[in-house]
């Protein structure tokens, strides 16, 4: 179905909103709803064919963004004085020689990769790590909402953590919290600052991949599929550096655990039985145990795919602070279009191999326009770049990155975090916008609600700044922190580009209005965007970023963790 022209409802909205510019603070260029509509009507048009990574449509979007940045006077910060940073997505074959040596008292055993233990296919650069503090953390799961806490206040920083139980305890719904179960290794390392993680090498019931396993990080995942005729099939695909050291992540079999727990207060056979029955597990330190990880993997690049981030800078006004940056980001890719035809069979009429959900009654529409995901963030970021470029400059510089390949595995942000165009340690905060154009579940009661994720996890000062920025708006938004809760079953904190920066220790805020029935569906279209709400949200992000950019110090990184919980915070007095 052709949708190249702006739908009638969208045109009507544009007429109404033309009179509703929202002035940015401090005399900056106004952030206007009609601009957002104009830009989004192109970015999410059929002409761009769903903006899939590596596609011509995504290239058109990159050119469109760059053309506007040039007009506004935003400095090009990509390769060769352009707005484009080439992102190399590598398909890699790996040959592992890695081992883990376990010393229990005076006894020592070495387990090679593939012989009792399995390392991640992308185990990072070569390194030898010895850890003499080993903590058994039960199921390795914190779900306060279900009154199950294994870590709690336990300090496992710099320790190796071990957990069991593919499906988790009986008091936690394994399906509802599937992502948290799958990400236990990442949680232990990134959130609890453990030095290594070890889980069972088993498959969780009803799911592909063991919940207790140590899954590879985003962007390092499943095989890239069949290559060209005769070409090797990659073991994993990544946009990250292959030579950087990563915390060891190991999946282990019974023989390994039997030796590891041989002098423990509770023997492995008892722990395994309890975990299989999803009964309560104890937590304790494994005294007298030392682990030595020898990570040694040879990588062969068998495929390289190229895509681009779009990068621009607005230079700050302070002669010293302009060398530090507040980063703003959004991803400008989506999932593309259906290249197959409609077929009929015993299960009815369907579109085979569709890149996302097909909304009932819209089977003829083959393009996933991604107006909200993340067309809304894409054009919101354009409005921010213009407002800062044409208005008074804050003290710090502003870095704008339109990330590529978020839908495929955060390719663009992971690449940027490893190959930044400015020193990564000079980025004081990253503000990420992903889906800000709708109401959650299409509920009218959500008309004023914005969800903030991650705002207090690394810097409680950044959280306070964002709260004060909202209170200063003519019409404050209702800030809700439900998805910031560690018990969030959707794990939104780990699912967008801000997480690539958070993993580097950079304070982040993820701004979103939440999911809705058109998420990853072929009906995520411009006609369904709430432009007035979206404009106010962009103004709020501007206000937050401006305050950070004018601070005389970087937001303190106190790493107190998420404390906002699952309810909307009360308004500031």
- Concatenating the DSSP letter of every residue in 64-90 gives HHHHHHHHHTPEE-SGGGSSEEEEEEE
Which residues, 6 or more positions from 270, have their beta carbon under 8 angstroms from its beta carbon? none
| C-alpha distance across the termini of the chain, in Å | 51
Q: What residue has token string 């999410």? A: 44
Cα of 46 vs its chain's centroid, Å: 27
d(CA 399, CA 445): 34
Task: Give the pLDDT mean for 416-427.
Answer: 98
Confidence band, pLDDT 50/70/90 cuts, at residue 346: confident
CATH class of 98-295: alpha beta
Task: Give the pLDDT mean for 75-88.
Answer: 98
Tell me whether the CATH fold assigned to 8-90+303-336+369-549 matches the one assigned to 98-295.
no
| Backbone phi, psi, residue 497, to 5° | -65, -25
d(CA 414, CA 417): 5
Handedness of CA 226, 227, 230, 235 (dihedral sign): negative
Q: SS3 string of 122-166?
A: CCECCEEEEECCEEECCCCCEEHHHCEECCCCCCCCCCEEECCCC
Residue 1 has pLDDT above 50, yes or no: no
pLDDT given at position 342: 93
Which residues, 6 or more positions from 115, have their beta carbon under 8 angstroms from its beta carbon? none
Closest CA to 514 of 492, 488, 541, 545: 492
pLDDT given at position 4: 34
Q: What is the pLDDT of residues 287-333, one digit of tens each?
A: 999 999 999 999 999 999 999 999 999 999 999 999 999 999 999 99
Do the bridges between strand 284-285 and strand 342-345 make them parallel or antiparallel, or are there none, so unpaired?
unpaired
555 contacts 549 by C-beta, under 8 angstroms: no
Cα of 462 vs its chain's centroid, Å: 19
d(CA 31, CA 546): 14
Per mean pLDDT, which range of 159-173, 192-206, 375-389, 473-487 is the poorest? 192-206
Superfamily of domain 8-90+303-336+369-549: Zn peptidases (3.40.630.10)
d(CA 360, CA 111): 53
d(CA 533, CA 437): 7
Transcribe 184-243 into DSSP letters: HHHIIIIIT--SEEEEE--PPTTSSS-TTS-PPPTTS-S-----STTPPPPSEEESS-SS
Helices (H), 293-435: 377-390, 406-409, 411-418
pLDDT given at position 487: 83
Share of the chain above pLDDT 70, in %: 88
Task: Give the pLDDT mean for 249-275.
Answer: 97
Task: Give the pLDDT mean for 245-259.
Answer: 97
Domains of the chain, by residue range, sit at 8-90+303-336+369-549, 98-295
Measured N-to-C along each axis, helices 33-43 and 8-17 cross at an angle, to the nearest 10 degrees, of 150
Closest CA to 223 of 232, 214, 236: 236
Closest CA to 224 of 232, 215, 216, 213: 232
pLDDT given at position 345: 84
Do the bridges between strand 325-331 and strand 427-433 make them parallel or antiparallel, or are there none, so unpaired?
parallel
Closest CA to 384 of 2, 25, 8: 25
Buried b (16+ CB within 10 A) or exposed e, 243-269: eeebbbbbbbeeebbebbbbebeeebe
d(CA 292, CA 101): 5
Residue 240 has pLDDT above 80, yes or no: yes
Q: Where are the beta strands (DSSP E) in 315-359?
A: 325-331, 342-345, 348-351
The reply to whether omega before 202 is within 30° of 0 (cis) is no
d(CA 325, CA 315): 9
Q: What is the pLDDT of residues 156-207, one digit of tens each?
A: 999 999 999 999 999 999 999 999 999 999 999 988 999 999 999 974 333 3
pLDDT given at position 382: 98
Let me know how long the chain is: 573
332 contacts 92 by C-beta, under 8 angstroms: no
Residue 347 has pLDDT above 90, yes or no: no
pLDDT given at position 213: 32
Task: Give the pLDDT mean for 97-102.
Answer: 98
Select the more confidently predicted residue: 22 or 248. Answer: 248
């Amino acid at each position: 179905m052709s949708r190249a022209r702006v739908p009638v409802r969208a045109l009507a909205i544009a007429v109404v909103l033309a009179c509703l510019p929202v002035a940015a603070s401090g005399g900056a260029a106004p952030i206007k709803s009609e601009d957002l509509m104009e830009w989004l009507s192109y970015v999410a048009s059929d002409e761009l064919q769903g903006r899939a990574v590596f596609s011509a449509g995504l290239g058109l979007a990159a050119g469109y963004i760059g053309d506007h940045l040039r007009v506004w006077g935003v400095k090009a910060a990509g390769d060769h004085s352009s707005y484009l940073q080439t992102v190399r997505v590598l398909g890699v074959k790996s040959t592992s020689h890695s081992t883990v040596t376990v010393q229990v008292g005076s006894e020592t055993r070495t387990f090679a990769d593939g012989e009792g233990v399995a390392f991640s296919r992308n185990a990072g650069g070569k390194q030898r790590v010895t850890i003499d503090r080993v903590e058994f953390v039960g199921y390795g799961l914190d779900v306060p909402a279900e009154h199950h806490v294994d870590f709690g206040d336990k300090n496992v920083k710099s320790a190796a953590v071990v957990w069991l139980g593919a499906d988790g305890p009986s008091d936690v719904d394994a399906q509802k919290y599937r992502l948290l179960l799958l990400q236990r290794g990442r949680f232990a390392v990134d959130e609890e600052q453990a030095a290594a993680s070890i889980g069972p090498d088993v498959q969780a019931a009803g799911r592909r991949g063991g919940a207790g396993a140590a899954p590879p990080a985003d962007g390092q995942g499943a095989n890239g599929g069949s290559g060209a005729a005769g070409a090797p099939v990659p073991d994993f695909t990544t946009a990250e550096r292959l030579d950087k050291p990563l915390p060891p992540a190991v999946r282990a079999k019974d023989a390994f655990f039997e030796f590891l727990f041989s002098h423990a207060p509770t023997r492995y056979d008892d722990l395994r039985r309890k975990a299989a029955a999803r009964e309560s597990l104890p937590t304790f330190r494994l005294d007298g145990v030392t682990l030595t990880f020898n990570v040694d993997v040879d990588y062969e690049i068998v495929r390289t795919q190229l895509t681009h981030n779009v990068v621009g800078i607005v230079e700050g006004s302070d002669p010293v602070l302009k060398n530090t940056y507040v980063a703003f980001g959004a991803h400008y890719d989506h999932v593309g279009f259906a290249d197959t035809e409609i077929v009929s069979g015993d299960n009815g009429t369907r579109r085979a191999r569709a890149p996302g959900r097909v909304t009932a009654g819209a089977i003829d529409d083959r393009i996933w326009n991604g107006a909200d995901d993340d067309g809304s963030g894409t054009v919101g970021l354009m409005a921010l770049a213009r407002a800062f470029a044409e208005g008074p400059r804050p003290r710090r510089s502003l870095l704008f990155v339109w990330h590529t390949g978020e839908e495929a595995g955060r390719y663009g942000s992971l690449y940027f975090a490893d190959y930044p165009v400015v020193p990564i340690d000079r980025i004081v905060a990253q503000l990420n916008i992903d889906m800000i154009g709708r109401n959650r579940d299409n509920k009218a009661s959500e008309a004023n609600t914005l969800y903030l994720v991650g705002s207090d996890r690394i810097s409680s000062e950044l959280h306070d700044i964002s709260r004060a920025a909202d209170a200063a708006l003519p019409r404050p938004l209702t800030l809700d922190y439900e998805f910031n809760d560690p018990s969030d079953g959707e794990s939104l904190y780990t699912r967008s580009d801000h997480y690539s920066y958070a993993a580097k220790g950079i304070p982040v805020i993820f701004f979103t209005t939440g999911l809705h029935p058109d998420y990853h569906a072929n009906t995520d279209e411009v006609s369904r965007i709430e432009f007035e709400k979206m404009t106010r949200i962009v103004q709020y992000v501007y206000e937050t970023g401006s305050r950070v950019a004018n601070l005389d110090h970087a937001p303190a990184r106190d790493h107190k963790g998420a404390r906002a919980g699952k309810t909307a915070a009360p308004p500031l007095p």
